[in-house]
Chains A and B, each alone.
Chain A
Amino acid sequence: MSEQTEVESKRKLRSKEEAKTIDSSLFNFEDDPQVIDPDEPISCVGHCSGEVLKLEVEVPFKSLVVSDGIQEAKNTKSGRRSLRASTQAKKFTSDPLDDTLYELYHRRMEKEEKKMLNRDRESFCSEADKLKWQLDALLQNDWAKSLPSITFIRDTRDQEELQEKREWTISSIRQLLEKYEDWKRREDRVLGRVRAHLLTPNVGNGHGQTHNNGIDFRFYTESLNKFDYIGDSGTDSEEENMDVEEIKQRRKIKNCGKFGPSIRINLGHNNQLIAQPFQKTRIENS
């Protein structure tokens, strides 16, 4: 995570002063005095008389005053609101703003927005393709020729600078590509959510992969992200009048039925083998 942020902050340099002279499409590893190294120790002292680190730009909070201007609404025609509202309710035999009224317009607009989203998605994918191509170029024998078109180089005759920046660029590209692959995986999962939901087996329902008293061990691994599976249900009216503990208990039971129970096996000498869905199986000493 920290490495990724480091890469991002290095790349962000582009937008600062350097941007005036350095092509913004290039990787840029020049020092930025505004960036603090995430691993640099910052000592905590009672008092320090050094120079204060301040924001480069002042936050214009004082100008952010929103006038209240909120009034209680009055209905146009005379009469008390409650009376008026109930009269209106009687006037219409059904909801005058039924869901179906909005359907046509909202569906059309949704279609237009999805086109826009697809364009964003395509540009993200082509950015990744470009990174793949750049990585390939840097792994070739004639990498020194390609590097200046990918990364900002102060002196193209300086072998040390070239070597160093080649390594940094390769590692940055790999991290960005990892981020892209992670996004691709999530996209597959999210787009396939409905399918995943249908395929989720219930314990002991005779599904192909169930063994050992009907427990499906597919979920007993920490490599699966439980948030891709849990809590997919919509409105849950049964929870409406429950307190926090009751809701927790109810969801625990529900998830246990969906993904399997917490399994504890005594190994002797107070050691227990514990297996739980979406967690690494472990041995605990009690």
Chain B
Amino acid sequence: MHHKLEVEDGTYGLLKGPNISKVRLGNHEMGTWYGTAVYFARDHKTLGFKYLNGEKQSRSKSLVNQEETWLEKLYVCDWCFKYTDVEDEFLGHHARCSHRARQPGQIRYLAADVTIRRVRGSRHKLFTQNLCLFTKMFLDNKSMFFAVDYFDFYVVYDNLTNKPMGFFSKELLSTDRNNLACILVFPPYQRRHLGTLLIAFSYELSKAERLISGPEKPLSPFGLMGYLKYWSSTVARELLYGRSCAEDEITLNALSRITGIRIDDITLTLKYMEIVKVENNKLHVDRGCLKNWARKNKLSKAPLLQKECLLVE
């Protein structure tokens, strides 16, 4: 296949800028954030699956931006992530998509408003491949789209519409025993704290396995932002309301064991929060600064994830 070289040269799927102008996800339409070559055949305009099925795109590329735009609009089903560049095909499929009535995978978290389902890449190959392909338009550093066998996907669904709103993937054979490979809340559903919920859930999975774990590095700027938010709230909650609240002394090791967060990540978090001070060559947590931090960041006493809704054991 023509993509062979791109797979081998280490820049697989990476492009300088977005190459699809707009994407329609169900009834939402939005611009894309990053370029993706993996949807396309080597001619940079025909979708790979159509090219191999003998179809060749005759339309010329966008007149506005010939270099960068490979496709004006991609249509993606918001139930199953199947994709096409033809509106009629999308509408015809969307009306009868089999994932409408039945969501894939097994329930792992069941709250009043959302459900998190574990979808195995090996069992739901096309669904998870299409999910990865869609994700590339909004994540810069994603490099695995088709070899999904050794990944589990945790997809968060809206209980009212039964539509997927975001997900994270977890590598089954991670050499560092990471608990998360990549995470995305789809643009229409952002700013609902779903990212924090998914991150919190990924740590609950590790805790059930009695593992101190964390995400694959390096983190994207958005990933780091999401993680610092979760890590700092978790550490603050532990120091203010947890077992450590009355302690005169703590250690990174103890904090790591209680929270399930890696020591390196806790160190980063404490520095980010600016609540640890050095005096006479000794380290101190300044509880005054901690309380100020909590107030400033509107820290709630109860975590976002409800433990009673977990079905991970």
Contact = CB atoms under 8 A, between A and B. Distances in A.
Given A52-B277, A64-B222, A88-B95, A38 B251 contact: yes
Interface string B23-61: 010111111010000100000000011011100000000
A109 B225 contact: no
A112 interface: yes
Contacts of B251: 38-42
B259 interface: no
A117 B250 contact: no
A186 interface: yes
Interface in B81-99: 82, 84, 87-98
A93 to B, nearest CB: 10
Interface string B278-311: 1110111111110000000000000000001101
How many interface residues does chain A have, given as a range? 35 or more
A81 interface: yes
Given A73-B24, A101-B49, A42 B110 contact: no
B277 A44 contact: no
Nearest to B2: A108
A72 B25 CA distance: 10
Interface stretch (A130-138, A239-247, A258-266, A267-275): A239-247
Interface stretch (A18-26, A160-168, A228-236): A228-236
Greatest chain B CB density within 10 A among A39, A101, A114 is at A101
Given A70-B30, A251-B311, A36 B252 contact: yes
Contacts of B30: 69-71
Interface stretch (B63-71, B140-148, B196-204): B140-148
A199 interface: no
A64 B106 contact: no
Given A89-B95, A97-B84, A43 B175 contact: no
B91 A59 contact: no
Nearest to A49: B279
B173 A187 contact: yes
User: Which A-B residue pairs are the 9 nearest by beta carbons?
Assistant: A50-B279, A89-B95, A50-B277, A88-B91, A105-B49, A110-B146, A113-B147, A92-B92, A97-B93
25 contacts: A1-B212, A5-B256, A5-B262, A38-B251, A38-B263, A39-B253, A40-B252, A41-B250, A42-B250, A43-B283, A48-B277, A48-B279, A51-B277, A52-B274, A59-B224, A66-B190, A101-B49, A105-B48, A113-B144, A186-B172, A186-B173, A234-B105, A237-B102, A244-B309, A248-B313
Interface of A: 1-2, 5-6, 8-9, 12, 35-55, 59-61, 64, 66, 69-76, 81, 84-86, 88-89, 91-92, 95-97, 99, 101-102, 104-106, 108-110, 112-117, 124, 179-180, 182-183, 186-187, 190, 225, 227, 231, 233-237, 239-240, 243-244, 247-248, 251
Interface of B: 1, 3-4, 7-8, 12, 24, 26-31, 33, 38, 48-49, 51-53, 77, 82, 84, 87-98, 102-107, 110, 118, 120, 123-126, 129-130, 144-147, 150, 172-173, 175-177, 187-188, 190, 208-209, 212, 221-222, 224-225, 228, 239, 244, 247-253, 256, 262-264, 267-268, 270-272, 274, 276-280, 282-289, 308-309, 311, 313
